[in-house]
Structure 1
Amino acid sequence: MKPVTLLLITALAAASMAQPMHAQQVSIREQLIARGAPAEFADQVAAVVAAAEAEALPTEPLVSKALEGWAKRGRVPPERVLAVLSQTQASLRLGREVTLGAGFDPPPGAVVAAAAGALGRGISREQVLDIMTAAPEPAGAATGLTVAAALAAQGLDRPAAVKAVRDAFRAGRSPDEVLEFPSAVTGLRAHGESLADVARRILEGGGLPMPSQQGMGPQAGRPPGVPGSQPGQGSAKKKGQSNKP
C-alpha cells in the first residue's frame, strides 16, 4: 500500500472517530447557549462531554445533567453543575469497569449508564454483577439494573431489590416483565403491604406479582428513561457467547 494511501486511510479513520465527538460538543454547547448559558460555561460542559466520549463512556447522562442543572440555575450555581458532571463521569467510569468485568465486550453504553445509576443508588458492585450475569442479554441487563435502582428509590431494601430482578431473570421472566416490578411494589403498597412486607416476600422466595394480577394497568409505575427492554436489542455480547441462534 502506498504511503499516501495509508495516510489518507488513517486520516479518514481519525476523522470518522472525531466527528461524533465534535457533533456532541457543538450540540450541547448550542443547547446551553440557546438556553442563555454563558459561553464559558457551555465550553466547560462541552469539554467534559468530549473527554467522556474519548474514554468511550456514554455521554447522554452528562448531557441530561448539564441541561437539568442549567435549568435550575437560580438554585444551582454553574460550579455545582460542573462538579456533578465530574462525579457522574467518575460513576460512568466505574460502571464501565463493572460492565467489562461482567464479560460484556464491548461494554454497551446503556448498560454502563444503568450500572452507574444502580451503583449511585447504593447497590453494590457484586449485586450489579449478579444482575448482569443473570440477564438474558445486554438490553435486559440495562433494564434490570434500572429497575433495581428504581426499586431502591422506592425504599425497598437493596438485597430485596436485587434478588427480585436476579431471580426473575433466572426463572426466565422477560425484561418487559421485570420492567413492571415498580408497578408491582406500588400495587402491593396500595393493598396494605409495607416495604418491609414486600422485602420479606421477595427474600423468602415469593417474588413480585405482575400489576395485571393486582388490577393495575401495565406501565403504571415503570421507571422513566429505561433503556430498550425488548429482547435482542443489545448489540454487544458476553465473552464466549455465540451470535448463532
Structure 2
Amino acid sequence: MILLVRILSGFAVAWLLAMVVSAPAPLLAQAAAVHTQLAARGLPADLTVAVESLAARAGAQGLPWEPLADKAIEGWAKHVPAARIVAAVRVFAGRMGEGRSAVRGAGVAEPDAALIRAAAEALGSGLAQPEIGAVVRAAPRLALAAPALTVAAALRAQGFSSEQAVAVVAESMRGGRTMTQLLDIPQAARAMQLQGMPPGEIGRRILRAPPHGTIMPGVPGMPPGGMLPGGMPPGGMPPPLPRQPIQPPIMLNPMP
C-alpha cells in the first residue's frame, strides 16, 4: 500500500511541477490552500501530494477542491489506509464532474460548489444522473436544490429506493415545504422506521402531512407537533434532540 501511494505520488509530483509552470495564479493559490489544509491536519507528505494533484486537476476543470480535501481529512481521521483515501478522492472527483453534468442538464448553467458536492454525494448514495436532474428541477428555487439532494441521499442511506427518495423529496418541494421542513424529513422517516413502517408507507405518510405543519403526525400515536402535553412524546421518552446537519457517510471504497 505504501509503495502504491509513493508511486502515485511520484506521478503527482511530476504533474504538479508541470502545473506550476503553466498554471494561472488562482490555481496556484488553490494548491497552496490544499497543502496548508492537509498539512495542518497531519496528513503525511506522500498522501498530501497525491490529494493535491487530484484537487489541482479538479480545479483546472472548474470543480471545487474543498470536498476532496475534506474526504482525505475524514479518511485519515478514521485511520483509512492512504491508498484507499487516494482512490476514494479520485472517485469523488469523478462524481463531481458527473454531478455537475446532471445539474447542468436540469437547467442550472453554473452550479455552485455546494450543489456540485450535493450532486456528487447523491450519486454516491445510488441516485442516477436523471434522478438528480429530477430533484433539481423540482426545486422551486435554486437554494433548495442542494439541501434536497442531501435529503434524497440520506433517505437512500435509510433504505429507500432511489425512486422513493426522489418522489418524497420532489413532491415535498412541490407541496410547498420549507427548507427546514425538508431537512426534517430524514429524522421523521427514521422515527417511523423505528415504528416498523416500510419506506413506501413512510413516504405516503410524509406526503399526506399538511404542507405547513409538522411531518410527525404520520407516526402512529403521535399527536400534532409530535409531543404530548408537558413536552413528552408518546411512550414517555424524552423529546428528540435538535436536528443535526445531515452528513452523508464518506464512501471510501471506489465503485467498481
Return 31-40 or 216-225, whichever deviates more.
216-225
Q: CA deviation at 1:84?
A: 1.1
Higher relative contact order, structure no. (Cα contacts within 8 Å, ≥ 6 residues apart): 1
Residue type of the partner of 2:34? I
Within 5 Å, which residues of 2 pair with 1:77-92? 77-92=81-96
> Partner of 1:46 in structure 2?
52
Partner of 1:224: 247
CA contact (8 A) 1:151 1:182 kept: yes
SS of 1:155's equivalent?
Answer: coil
Match of 1:102 among 89, 106, 123: 106
Q: Closer, same or farther in 2 for the Cα pair 1:218/1:142, shift >3 Å?
A: farther
1:37 alignment counterpart: 43
Alignment match of 2:75 (pick from 30, 47, 69): 69
TM-score by length of 2: 0.71
Work out whether residues 92 and 113 of structure 1, in 8 Å CA contact, stay in contact via their aligned partners in 2.
Answer: yes
State how many pairs are aligned. Answer: 205
Counterpart residue number, 1:24: 30
Tell me what 2:10 maps to: none
Q: Which deviations, in whole Å up to 9, do the C-alpha atoms of 1:162-193 show, x marking residues without a partner?
A: 11110111122222211110111122234443
What's the offset of the Cα at 1:52? Answer: 0.6
Q: CA deviation at 1:144?
A: 0.4
Aligned to 2:208: 206
| Structure 2: runs of 5 or more not aligned | 1-22, 217-223, 228-238, 249-256
Residue 131 (str. 1) matches residue 154 (str. 2): no
Q: How does 1:103-182 map to 2 (within 5 A)?
A: 103-182=107-186
Note the C-alpha offset of 1:219: 4.5
Unpaired segments ≥5 residues, structure 1: 1-16, 226-245
Q: State the 1:48 CA deviation.
A: 1.1
Task: Say which is worse superposed, 209-218 or 163-172, in terms of deviation.
Answer: 209-218
TM-score, with structure 1 as normaliser: 0.74
**Aligned: 1:59 with 2:65:** yes
Task: Determine if contact 2:31/2:56 at 8 Å carries over to the other structure.
Answer: yes
Percent of residue pairs identical: 36
Query: Is the Cα contact below 8 Å between 1:182 and 1:221 reproduced in 2?
Result: no
Aligned to 2:187: 183
User: 2 CA distance for matches of 1:116 and 1:48?
Assistant: 16
Letter in structure 2 aligned against 1:223: I
